[in-house]
Structure 1
Amino acid sequence: MLFTLIQGCCIHGDLVKAKELVSQMMNKGIPRPNIVFFNSVINSLCKEGRVMDAQDIFELVIHIGERPDIITFSSLIDGYVLVGKMDKALGVLDAMFSAGVEPDVVTYNTLVNGYFKNGRVDDALALFAEMLHKRVKPTTVTYNSILDGLFRAGRTDDAKKRFHEMIQSGITVDVSIYNIILGGLCRNNCASEAITLFHKLGEMNVKFDIKTLNIMIDAMYKVRRREEAKKLFAAISNSGLVPNAYTYSIVIKNLLKEGSLEEAGNIFSSMEKIGCAPNSRLVNDIIRMLLEKGEIAKAGDYLSKVDGKSISLEASTTTLMLSLFSRNGKYQEDVKLLPAKYRFFNGLG
């Protein structure tokens, strides 16, 4: 009963009452809550973003003479990283060392990832170097953060160097790492290099997922290797994978860009046949692209196809339609090519 009361006080921030209850237990010789109990409370608060409340519980732990362990410190670090307070998180790391508690790879992974997310790339790499110096062995998760962070910071050469270090260290390279490498290369204008690597990995019988194929189809279109992109899309089913909404979005939008309207329409129609309903974002993208090309009738066809299917027009789509079909708009007369419910743009509804 007392444990439940103490837990409730901690969760609701009534630390004074919690201290009183713990003191009562100690005075009566009743076993007080141990570090496992407090770790549970601290972890819950940190996951909710209430890291300052968790810090107060940590102070209570110290106050009653309980010894924090690696879970206590790691939870606090995770909490501070979650709210972007990296200096506070590093302060907890220093407190760990002072308490004689050695951080493990999970602790370092949290900090490294946090630094990258906050744009502090050099700090992340310095901490990674410290981690290696202390002989804490990195994992795939560590390299996920490092490679993704470096690519997002535009440091492609650094990312490739770290990738080679990873391979040489004997760490298993899984599909998530390959996706980061391929996607990072494409993001940093190295699509041709990504395609070459993709083919090499295929020859090595690396098992890809649909995310990999999405990255590569998009890359092939970007460097105008359209036939390769189409062949890869057609080969998805043979690889045992199923295209998702993003796959279709990449292919359809690229077909529209190159003017292959009929082919794009056929692929759009095939989506629902495999149980992959187009989402609102894709439909809006398609309609805007067609309107910008002056393909009003085609845009009207798509609006008719999705009418009544919980797909709404985005503000950017509505704004474009207003500019095109208003009384002074470029396509004022063509508004009649749209379904009746969309003809209100120039008062014809």
Structure 2
Amino acid sequence: EPPLNAIRPPPHQHQSRDPNAPRLPDSTSALVGPRLNLHNRVQSLIRAGDLDAASAVARHSVFSSTRPTVFTCNAIIAAMYRAKRYNEAIALFHFFFNQSNLVPNIVSYNNVINTHCDEGRLDVALEIYRQIIADAPFSPSPVTYRHLTKGLISVGRIDEAVDLLREMLNKGHGADSLVYNNMISGFLELGNLDKANELFDELKERCLVYDGVVNSTYMEWFFKQGRDKEAMESYKSLMDRQFRMTPATCNVLLEVLLKHGKEKEAWELFDQMLDNHTPPNFQAVNSDTFNVMVNECFKLGKIDEALATF
């Protein structure tokens, strides 16, 4: 028979956890058994639009033997944000992660930062960002910087947004197209095309492949200025790169083209998206893609074409 210590290691072999080490948030492996059942129940209530019941179930579970995972907490907080119930989103964050001693992850922080940004409380959002850097066992994510730069620009603090972009890069994060897009959009709205172009050139130097949403931002601005030729030159420069673009990016391009009377180019892009759609390997269209094109057909009174597209 094997010796007892082969079956049950002696107690001194177990290393005790450092009490001063930061507590880590749940990993997805925590989402099993009763905790998974709880998560699915909360998600079902969210999908049914009953946010009050979803919130109550999640809050009450904190006091039960089946405590919610961080994913369940994030789900109800994000649902409150989407419903523009900002005060409740912030209160739930405080309840779960400050009062109830659950450990937030970066998505938790991003949810509450986004909420404060939409409410115009940029200084509070920036304080939470600094708290992540000081105390959290993880770094801010590109989404953190997207929310903060967009929020700062919306209240006329674009210089601080530039500082945050530089901070993102200095901390070793990759150049995020959507953070750059926020900056470029902000400078275009101020009429500073040179600074926008400087940032776009910087993005292209840092990324072999970038998000085509940046081109849609330029297109929209040029169209508003009555500079259709330059808008379409920006579109052509993107298409010449032959990036494999996600539906989210292409849908924005479709909307800009259709909004400004470029139906021929929009339908050509739609056909190209259908050609590139080779699931499960690559998804080039989604339900929003068809909604955009079908709505355009109805708007033009082309009922048969709408039905054929659908």
1:235 is paired with a residue whose SS is: helix
The alignment yields a C-alpha RMSD, in angstroms, of 3.2
- 1:169-212, CA deviations, whole angstroms, 9 ceiling, x for partnerless residues? 23311212111211222334433431232234334443222222
**Contact (CA 8 Å) 1:96, 1:102: kept in 2 or not?**
yes
Q: Which of 282, 291, 296 is matched with 1:314 structurally? A: 296
**Contact (CA 8 Å) 2:89, 2:115: kept in 1 or not?**
no
2:38 paired with 1:81: no
Quote the Cα distance in structure 1 between the aligned partners of 2:108 and 2:168.
Answer: 22
**Aligned position for 2:194:** 227
**Aligned position for 1:112:** 77
Instruction: Supply the AA of the counterpart residue of 2:122.
Output: T
- In the TM superposition, 1:1-349 aligns within 5 A as 69-93=34-58, 95-97=60-62, 99-131=64-96, 132-170=98-136, 171-275=138-242, 279-287=253-261, 310=270, 314=296
Quote the Cα distance in structure 1 between the aligned partners of 2:103 and 2:236.
Answer: 50
* Unaligned stretches of 5+ residues in structure 2: 1-31, 272-292, 302-310
Shift of 1:269: 2.6
Quote the Cα distance in structure 2 between the aligned partners of 1:204 and 1:73.
Answer: 37
- 1:133-192, CA deviations, whole angstroms, 9 ceiling, x for partnerless residues? 222121101012111122223333332222222222233112121112112223344334
- 1:239-263, CA deviations, whole angstroms, 9 ceiling, x for partnerless residues? 1242433211111232344454543
Quote the Cα distance in structure 1 between the aligned partners of 2:265 and 2:41.
Answer: 51
Quote the Cα distance in structure 2 between the aligned partners of 1:73 and 1:309.
Answer: 43
**Contact (CA 8 Å) 1:195, 1:220: kept in 2 or not?**
no
Instruction: Supply the AA of the counterpart residue of 2:296.
Output: E
Instruction: Supply the AA of the counterpart residue of 1:82.
Output: R
Quote the Cα distance in structure 2 between the aligned partners of 1:162 and 1:269.
Answer: 41
**Contact (CA 8 Å) 2:117, 2:125: kept in 1 or not?**
yes
Quote the Cα distance in structure 2 between the aligned partners of 1:91 and 1:102.
Answer: 13
- Name the CA shift for 1:92/1:227 in 2 (closer, same or farther; >3 Å): same
- Name the CA shift for 1:261/1:108 in 2 (closer, same or farther; >3 Å): closer
Percent identical pairs in the alignment equals 18
TM-score, with structure 1 as normaliser: 0.59
Quote the Cα distance in structure 2 between the aligned partners of 1:141 and 1:113.
Answer: 9
**Contact (CA 8 Å) 1:77, 1:111: kept in 2 or not?**
yes
Higher relative contact order (CA 8 A, sep 6+): 2
How many residues in Structure 1 have an aligned counterpart in Structure 2? 239
- Name the CA shift for 1:283/1:98 in 2 (closer, same or farther; >3 Å): closer
Quote the Cα distance in structure 2 between the aligned partners of 1:269 and 1:248.
Answer: 9
**Contact (CA 8 Å) 1:117, 1:149: kept in 2 or not?**
no
Instruction: Supply the AA of the counterpart residue of 1:71.
Output: L
Shift of 1:305: 5.9
**Aligned position for 1:20:** none
- Name the CA shift for 1:265/1:210 in 2 (closer, same or farther; >3 Å): same
Bigger Rg, structure 1 or 2: 1
**Aligned position for 1:39:** none
